[in-house]
Amino acid sequence: MKRLIVNGDDFGASSGINRGIIEAHERGILTSASLMVDLPGAEEAAELAQNRPGLSVGLHVVLTHEDGERSVPPGGASEEIERQFERFCASLGRPPTHLDSHHNIHLEPAYEPFFLDAARRQSRPLRGYAEARYVGRFYGQWNDGSTHLELVSIEGLIQVLESEVDEGVTEIGCHPGYIDPGFQSSYSTEREAEVRTLCAPAARAAAEQLAIRLVNFTAL
């Protein structure tokens, strides 16, 4: 059986990001989200998640600035991961369903051991090291930062579904959202394009045609 988690990163970054993630969940194929506990929209995101049991919510650990520069050195990673984990539990009244990180810093050798240790201690699946195979191809920029909306079009999504989702559990990362005034991110118009694609009837139809079952992290 092909099972697919569609996970929205940056939940809690702003009200507009929250709105896009919830819309993609209620009207589209998004099944999960990862919460940034210290950002301006975090409290609102926690409230939105409470009444949506079909939306699994994990912890999106932030150890970097928006430009990718490190805000926490490796020596302080363990303590900071634990602090953000505890804040998540206090905000939602339950532990996160999974762990990942902003800019996927947990995949870097200097930070990897601290994330693996936290995942082991908390018995949480960690992106890239869990049963779910992670796919990051649904992203509207090239490595040089140039915008390519065709990558997050319905055609781009269907190509990812056809080529990347196989037997077992797959996680596709995404970044849907709406851009509020003053929100600083190098990934902006791409977010709104993702909302449109994830909510398109053709997205759900393609998943059904490919015999893909949409699930969240409770499937693990």
Listed in sequence order, the residues at least 6 apart from 83 whose beta carbon sits closer than 8 Å to its beta carbon are none
State residue 160's pLDDT score: 98
* Structural domains of the chain, with CATH: 2-219 (3.20.20.370)
| Distance (Å, whole) CA 101 – CA 199 | 25
How many separate helices (H) and strands (E) can be counted in the chain?
7, 7
State the DSSP string of 158-218.
Answer: HHHHHHH--SEEEEEEE------TT---S--HHHHHHHHHHHSHHHHHHHHHTTEEE--GG
Helix (H) or strand (E) holding 119: helix 112-122
| Distance (Å, whole) CA 153 – CA 140 | 9
State residue 68's pLDDT score: 84
| Distance (Å, whole) CA 101 – CA 198 | 22
Task: State how far Cα 173 lies from the chain centre.
Answer: 5
The stretches in the chain having pLDDT less than 70 are: none
State residue 66's pLDDT score: 85
Residue 125 contacts residue 131 (beta carbons within 8 Å): yes
Global confidence as pTM: 0.96
Strand ranges inside the chain, DSSP E: 2-11, 32-35, 56-61, 99-101, 133-135, 168-174, 212-214
State residue 184's pLDDT score: 82
Residues comprising the chain, all counted: 220
